[in-house]
C-alpha cells in the first residue's frame, strides 16, 4: 500500500497560503496547480509540490476558479476527456471538477485549449451534472 505524504503536503500548503503575488489566470488555460494529498480516490498531486496540470474551467474572480485535473492515464470513459498537450496524450478528469484558490497555481500557464476543445469539455461536464 502506498503511504501518502500528508505532512509534506501540509508544509507546501502553508507556504502556498502565504503567497502575496497572485497569478492572473484565464478560462481555457492549463496551469500547474498544487492540489495536494487527498483522501481515498480523490486525485493527488505529484512531486514535491504535490501538483498536477489543471484546466481553468470557470473563473469567478481574481482568486477563485473551477478547475479539472489532467492525467496521462487515457481511458475510454465518460469521466475522461482526451486532449493533446504539446504532443502528449492527456485526459481531463471531468469527475474531479472542484473549486480552487489562485494561490495554488504554480508559475505560469503551460497550455491553453482551443475554443472548440474548451466548448467540448464544457459540454461533457454539463452531461455529467
In 10 A of CB 25, how many CB atoms?
A: 21
Integer Cα distance of 116 and 129 in angstroms: 20
What's residue 42's pLDDT? 80
Integer Cα distance of 78 and 101 in angstroms: 27
The band of 1, judged by pLDDT with boundaries at 50, 70 and 90, is low
- Average pLDDT along the chain: 93
Check: CB of residue 29 under 8 Å from CB of residue 112. yes
Once rounded to an integer, what is the mean pLDDT over residues 70-89?
A: 92
- Beta strands 88-93 and 98-101 are unpaired
Cell of 40: 481515498
In 10 A of CB 113, how many CB atoms?
A: 19
The domains located in the chain, with CATH, are 6-19+40-128 (2.30.30.110)
Instruction: Fill in the DSSP letter of residue 2.
Output: P
pLDDT of residue 18 exceeding 90: yes
Instruction: Fill in the DSSP letter of residue 86.
Output: T
- pTM over 0.85? The answer is yes
94-124 pLDDT per residue, tens: 999 999 999 999 889 999 999 999 999 999 9
Amino acid at each position: 500500500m502506498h503511504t501518502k505524504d500528508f505532512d509534506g503536503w501540509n508544509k507546501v500548503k502553508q507556504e502556498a497560503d502565504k503567497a502575496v503575488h497572485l497569478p492572473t489566470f484565464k478560462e481555457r488555460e492549463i496551469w500547474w496547480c498544487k492540489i495536494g494529498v487527498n483522501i481515498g480516490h480523490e486525485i493527488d498531486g505529484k512531486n514535491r509540490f504535490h501538483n498536477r496540470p489543471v484546466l481553468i474551467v470557470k473563473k469567478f474572480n481574481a482568486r477563485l476558479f473551477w478547475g479539472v485535473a489532467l492525467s496521462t492515464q487515457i481511458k475510454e470513459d465518460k469521466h475522461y476527456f482526451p486532449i493533446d498537450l504539446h504532443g502528449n496524450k492527456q485526459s481531463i478528469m471531468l469527475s474531479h471538477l472542484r473549486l480552487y484558490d489562485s494561490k495554488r497555481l504554480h508559475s505560469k500557464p503551460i497550455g491553453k485549449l482551443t475554443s472548440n476543445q474548451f466548448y467540448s469539455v464544457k459540454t461533457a461536464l454539463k452531461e455529467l451534472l
